[in-house]
Structure 1
């Protein structure tokens, strides 16, 4: 069975707002962080997106040509499933809109043979899946900055979930990778 991996980049206070990435993400770039992100893409063969994240990423990746680290080719060739009640207006190769019962559709994807299913961004999607117990791992790249305000990844009204720390790694410039799995 495939693993469903939530892979997120965020500030220490949980902000993951794409409009402020110039403050909390880009200043902390390093070869280590880039290699980690590359590895995550290359070890997955399905991306699962919410509509907002898909519409943010599709215009760039579908037109990208520089395949220096193998990510562009992989991003464009891998299967992409988008959870959206609205039709998708931005084409991106190998994209399917998921319709029907979200939990049932994700469960079916997990039953297929293959590599990890990766969710990036897509906080509404992740928060919708939390009660289902379908998420196998959370991989959080935490950046050493407190934003104070901005869009936060986890909703405040969700129920608590206990997690087990399975891996940590410190990258240069103070970025920390925290990998958690749900306690069963």
Structure 2
């Protein structure tokens, strides 16, 4: 039996679940967001090592339109120097983009997905081994709601913003997740959490739970 590829979602988040504009002030200022670049004060070695490892492992990149535009404007021009290995990987792998408007890509290897994004993303599992979604909060919310993913990897930073686009906003699809490895804690207090989907939400009565004594 042929093993299907994996869809891995990679997100930098705050303690209150905000994933908007971690990289810089001009990254995404929608709705008057004031805290672009909130990740910068936490240069964590663990995060750097883990991010390098997942970039090395990927053979396809899956992006929402806004994140794609940011990446396409930056990474093709940064294939040398300290970040060169990242730029070369992003240049080399196929890039799939979910966008409601027509896309005329200048970045080699770019393919726009059709209107049924969950179905098209699921089909990528038959073409690739390790498909990574980076940023792209709107796309991530679509994939989480449809449970079209194999791993949700969060790097949770020790900061609370109180505003911004959250991974799980009000009205998010109910779901249970399963922690698939012990958390990693970095030297700046960033925690890596790796989850897999675990089916629908289950409920019970705490009065009936037999706690260890």
- The whole-number CA distance in structure 2 between the counterparts of 1:21 and 1:170 is 23
SS in 2 for 1:87: coil
- Residue of structure 2 in register with 1:178 after alignment: 193
Q: Deviations over 1:136-165 (max 9, x none)?
A: 110000000111222222221122110011
Q: How many residues align?
A: 182
Structure with more relative contact order (C-alpha pairs < 8 Å, separation 6 or more): 1
Instruction: Please report how far the alpha carbon of residue 108 of structure 1 lies from its aligned counterpart in structure 2 after TM superposition.
Output: 1.4
- Residue of structure 2 in register with 1:97 after alignment: 112
Mean Cα displacement is larger for which, 71-80 or 144-153? 144-153
- Residue of structure 2 in register with 1:36 after alignment: 50
Q: Which structure has the highest helix share of the two?
A: 1
The alignment status of 1:15 with 2:18, answered yes or no, reads: yes
The alignment status of 1:49 with 2:77, answered yes or no, reads: no
Q: Rg bigger for which structure?
A: 2
Contact 2:10–2:132 (CA<8 Å) still a contact in 1? yes
Mean Cα displacement is larger for which, 129-138 or 66-75? 66-75
**TM alignment of 1:164-175, pairs within 5 A:** 164-167=178-181, 168-175=183-190
Contact 1:7–1:118 (CA<8 Å) still a contact in 2? yes
Unaligned runs of 5+ in 2: 26-34, 200-213
Instruction: Please report how far the alpha carbon of residue 90 of structure 1 lies from its aligned counterpart in structure 2 after TM superposition.
Output: 5.3
- The whole-number CA distance in structure 1 between the counterparts of 2:82 and 2:190 is 23
Q: Which structure has the highest strand share of the two?
A: 1
Contact 2:95–2:110 (CA<8 Å) still a contact in 1? yes
**TM alignment of 1:1-184, pairs within 5 A:** 1-18=4-21, 19=25, 20-22=35-37, 24-68=38-82, 70-89=85-104, 91-112=106-127, 114-167=128-181, 168-184=183-199
Instruction: Please report how far the alpha carbon of residue 67 of structure 1 lies from its aligned counterpart in structure 2 after TM superposition.
Output: 5.0
SS in 1 for 2:175: coil
Mean Cα displacement is larger for which, 123-132 or 73-82? 123-132
Q: Deviations over 1:9-33 (max 9, x none)?
A: 01111112214343x2111113321
